[in-house]
Amino acid sequence: MAERRFSEDELIAEIFAPLAGEGAFGLRDDAALLPLRGAREVVVTTDALVAGVHFFPDDPPGLVAKKALRVNLSDLAAKAAEPLGFLLTLSLPPDWTNDWARSFAAGLAEDARAFACPLLGGDTTATPGPLTISITAFGRVTRFVSRAGARPGDRIFVSGTIGDAALGLGVARGEAFASRLGHGARATLLERYRLPQPRLPLIAALRDHASAAMDVSDGLVGDLAKLLRASGASAQVEVAKVPLSAAAREAIALEPELLSRAVTGGDDYEILCCASADAASALALAAGEAGVALVEIGVVTAGAEPPQFYNSSGTILKFSRLSFSHF
Amino acid sequence: MAERRFSEDELIAEIFAPLAGEGAFGLRDDAALLPLRGAREVVVTTDALVAGVHFFPDDPPGLVAKKALRVNLSDLAAKAAEPLGFLLTLSLPPDWTNDWARSFAAGLAEDARAFACPLLGGDTTATPGPLTISITAFGRVTRFVSRAGARPGDRIFVSGTIGDAALGLGVARGEAFASRLGHGARATLLERYRLPQPRLPLIAALRDHASAAMDVSDGLVGDLAKLLRASGASAQVEVAKVPLSAAAREAIALEPELLSRAVTGGDDYEILCCASADAASALALAAGEAGVALVEIGVVTAGAEPPQFYNSSGTILKFSRLSFSHF
């Protein structure tokens, strides 16, 4: 006999309440008490994922849940904020199933535990449209690292590798280059698209040494332009220094124009940050000790023009689009 | 010439940035700093509205914005939490226009000012589905008033009037009773459906005197059952004491079965609260002094069964559905 679908109350009590942390009152209240854990300053951030826009409707529900949480944790990491908890708003389409809800919650529970970021509350609602997941995350900071603190002379760093997710989206879409990639590269790029790694280990390094930071979610080129606009500065970036994975290099070797996609495409969820010339080596060292490589890619300059990206022969590169935009 | 539609960046910079409060960094950062204003405890709550589910797609955008904020402010009020600010996540359907965005933001700005609850940040995204508005609101408390504190012997109170919004939805849908109502009653009920009044003036009274509280969003009967379940208690409620507006009484006089809808229908956004027999008169007095009537409707009893609603002849009423549910 087919299992009856959960009511709204059952969905909360049976599926999500087991994830509830301190201050969540077992999800039985209208609201939660944020566990401040001695915080003097609290960072709040929110990001929504829409099926068909940010993920494929048939992506594994546990992975979708993790991505929804991780894109928010990535914002916390960029602000040097240690996670305190999160709220989840789920707008469920007519065809949701109990199995979907169980898998979604299982993935969410794994990450909530792994990143010490408990569920505090939320809202569930029906929608005639696509599944929409909105998460608000909270973190505590001792020093908020804004986008606006970059100054001429500062060195520019980026964590991990850039472009894997944008190329992974190409793999997911079955683009021509994907079939020519080795199996390992295909799997790596796809994994990086589906499951970002929030760079929480960088929190202390950013707090102690960075002049400005943000996460790279809409493409390195466009996001650096945003950081510099907020800071009232410009920059020179050497494209050859932008860290690329072996998988991304394999794809770019097949189709050189994919380099442009790698540096302008979205979903990296790496940290873009700056530090004064004096603090730059301490920043890189602290990051390395935390297990996340930060690579220097350029320097902040005076001026209001967008950052210039040049190649090893000194030619300034032009990009047809700077970054991902929804509209 | 038709105006070009805003880009995502323009929408944020031109339409929403003027609403940004302290800690929002002009909406130019990934995240915001919550202005704690000396708070020792912070309440967080979130509620989403979906076009076609929670409001009509052609409702005035300024009213939709106000309702989206007010349903969250209502949750803060129920927890005796003073607003600190909010985050807004907008999932915009393909056909959104600049005029829509301007009207939406104008309504939101009015209420953000009126309720001293500034915009701190958010997210905008495209959706192929209906317009979806998700708001997370923050408040500071000196004593969090939970759902779980009601004890046998406590008196049960409700603010304002009950059922207007559920009947107003009937008016909006053009149900038969609506055409028989006077113009004034029709307008009153419709207004109450479209624009809830968050009972923030009750914060001090609840903080000082209430044993338990929640806002009535899914119907009085069902929401009282939830409060009692969380408290491990039952109740006796005299239906004749439930406060009804003149407009609701006019509708119920036309169709007596609308009484059942009034006490089980959603969207009241009134406060349901309890106080010990000793504190009850102080609670009602403090509420009255704050300009919001609290009416005593019954008493908490020992037991685990759902609350009993009886009429003036002592008959126990049965309801075919206890409250609004999305699924």
A210 at B interface, C-beta within 8 A: no
Q: Encoding tokens for residue A35? A: 């566990």
B126 vs A contacts (CB less than 8 Å): 50, 53, 326-327
C-alpha–C-alpha distance, residues A198 and A212, integer Å = 17
- Cα distances from A4 to residues A7, A118, A131, A295, in angstroms, run 9, 29, 20, 53
Interchain pair A134, B89: CB under 8 A: yes
Cα–Cα distance, B201 to A19 (Å, whole number):
34
Backbone angles phi, psi at A98, to 5 degrees: -60, -40
DSSP tag of B12: I
Q: In B, residues 237-296, which contact A (CB 8 Å cutoff)?
A: none
> Shortest CB distance from A87 goes to which of B44, B76, B123?
B44
SS3 A216: strand
B130 neighbourhood in chain A, CB within 8 Å: 127-129
Strand, coil or helix: what is B168? helix
Pairwise CB contact (< 8 Å): A327 & B92: yes
pLDDT for residue A267: 94
Q: Are the beta carbons of A123 and B9 separated by less than 8 Å?
A: no
Residues of chain B with C-beta less than 8 angstroms from the C-beta of A33: 41-44, 141, 144
CB B25 to CB A92 under 8 A?
Answer: no
Q: Which pairs with CB-CB distance under 8 Å and at least 24 residues apart come from A180-185?
A: A180/A254, A181/A247, A181/A250, A181/A251, A181/A254, A182/A250, A184/A247, A185/A246, A185/A247, A185/A250, A185/A251
Please provide residue A190's backbone torsions phi and psi, each rounded to the nearest 5 degrees. -65, -45
Give the per-residue pLDDT at B65: 98
- Check residue A325 and give its pLDDT: 61
* Chain-chain contact of B125 with A53 (C-beta, under 8 angstroms): yes
3-state SS, one letter per residue, for B268-302: CCEEEEEECHHHHHHHHHHHHHCCCCEEEEEEEEC
Report the residue from B5, B134, B146 with minimal CB separation from A25. B146
The predicted pLDDT at position B320 comes to 75
Token pair listed for A280: 């730059």
Residue with tokens 């945003």: A226
Taking the Cβ of residue B52 and every Cβ of chain A, the question of whether any pair is shorter than 8 Å is answered with yes
Please indicate whether, in this complex, the C-beta atoms of B147 and A48 are within 8 angstroms of each other: no
The β-bridge partners of B308 are B236
Which residue of B8, B136, B229 is in closest CB contact with A46? B136
B25: chain A residues, CB-CB within 8 Å: 146-148
- Answer yes or no: do A89 and B48 touch at CB < 8 A: yes
The answer to whether B185 and B60 are in contact (CB under 8 A) is no
Helices of type H across chain A? 8-10, 61-78, 98-114, 164-172, 176-180, 183-194, 203-209, 220-231, 246-254, 258-264, 277-289
CA distances from A229 to A178, B31, B113 (A): 35, 16, 29
Mapped onto helix, strand or coil, the DSSP state of residue A119 is strand
**How many angstroms separate the CA atoms of A263 and A240, rounded?**
11
Taking alpha carbons only, the member of B277, B270, B271 closest to residue B301 is: B277
- Give the DSSP H or E segment for A213: strand A212-216
Verify whether the Cβ–Cβ distance B129 to A126 is below 8 Å. no
Q: Write out residues 18-47 of B within 8 Å (CB-CB) of A.
A: 25, 28-34, 36, 40-47
Q: Mean pLDDT throughout A12-32?
A: 93
pLDDT-derived band at A30 (thresholds 50, 70, 90) equals: confident
Beta carbons of B128 and B94 less than 8 angstroms apart: yes
Interface probe, candidates B36, B47, B127, B228, chain A, greatest A C-beta count within 10 A: B127
Among A122, A125, A132, whose Cβ lies nearest the Cβ of B326? A125
Residue A326 has pLDDT above 60, yes or no: no
DSSP secondary structure code for residue A55 in this structure: B
Instruction: Give the pLDDT confidence score for residue A47 in this predicted structure.
Output: 96
Nearest CA in chain B to A31: B45
Of the candidates A29, A47, A132, the beta carbon closest to that of B146 is on A29
pLDDT attached to residue A3: 83
Dihedral-angle region of residue A175 (phi above 0 means left; psi in -120 to 50 means alpha; beta otherwise)? beta
- The span from the CA of A145 to the CA of A207, in Å, is 7
- The chain A residue lying nearest B216, using CA atoms, is A30
* C-alpha distance from B5 to closest chain A C-alpha (Å): 9
Cα dihedral sign for A9, A10, A15, A21? positive
Q: Which of B36, B128, B214 sits opposite A129 (nearest CB)?
A: B128
Interatomic CA distance for residues A79 and A209, integer angstroms: 12
Q: Which residues contact B66 (CB under 8 A, 6 or more apart)?
A: B107, B108, B110, B111, B195
> What's the gap in Å between the CA of A325 and the closest CA on chain B?
7
The pLDDT value recorded for residue A88 is 98
A205 shares contact with chain B (CB less than 8 Å): no
pLDDT band at A183 (very low <50, low <70, confident <90, very high): very high
Instruction: Summarize pLDDT for A157-179 with one digit per residue, the tens.
Output: 999 999 999 999 999 999 999 99
pLDDT in tens, chain B (327 residues): 568 999 999 999 999 999 999 999 999 998 999 989 888 899 999 999 999 999 988 999 999 999 999 999 999 999 999 999 999 999 999 999 999 999 999 999 999 999 999 999 999 999 999 999 999 999 999 999 999 999 999 999 999 999 999 999 999 999 999 999 999 999 999 999 999 999 999 999 999 999 999 999 999 999 999 999 999 999 999 999 999 999 999 999 999 999 999 999 989 999 999 999 999 999 999 999 999 999 999 999 999 999 999 998 889 988 877 665 655
A49 vs A64: CA distance, rounded Å: 9
CA distance B168 to B178: 9
Best mutation target among B10, B40, B44 (most A Cβ atoms within 10 Å) is B44
Q: What is the torsion angle, in degrees rounded to the nearest 10, for the CA atoms of residue A145, residue A146, residue A149 and residue A154?
A: 60
What would the mean pLDDT of A231-252 be, rounded to a whole number? 97
Size of interface A-B (CB pairs under 8 A): 216
Can you give the pLDDT at residue A126?
Answer: 95
Q: Which residue of B has its CA nearest to A137?
A: B31
Best residue in A11, A28, A44, A87 for a mutation probing chain B (most B CBs within 10 Å): A44
Mean pLDDT across A37-53? 94
What residue has token string 């929002």?
A: B24
How far is Cα B123 from Cα B89, in angstroms, rounded to an integer?
5
Helices and strands, number each (H, E), in chain B: 11, 11
**Contact by Cβ (8 Å): A295, A158:** yes
Average of pLDDT values for A184-199?
96
When the pLDDT of each residue in chain A is averaged and rounded to a whole number, the result is: 95
Please tell me the predicted confidence (pLDDT) of residue B326.
58
DSSP secondary structure code for residue A18 in this structure: G
Tell me the shortest Cα–Cα distance from A83 to chain B, in angstroms: 13
- For B140, which residue in chain A has the nearest alpha carbon? A33
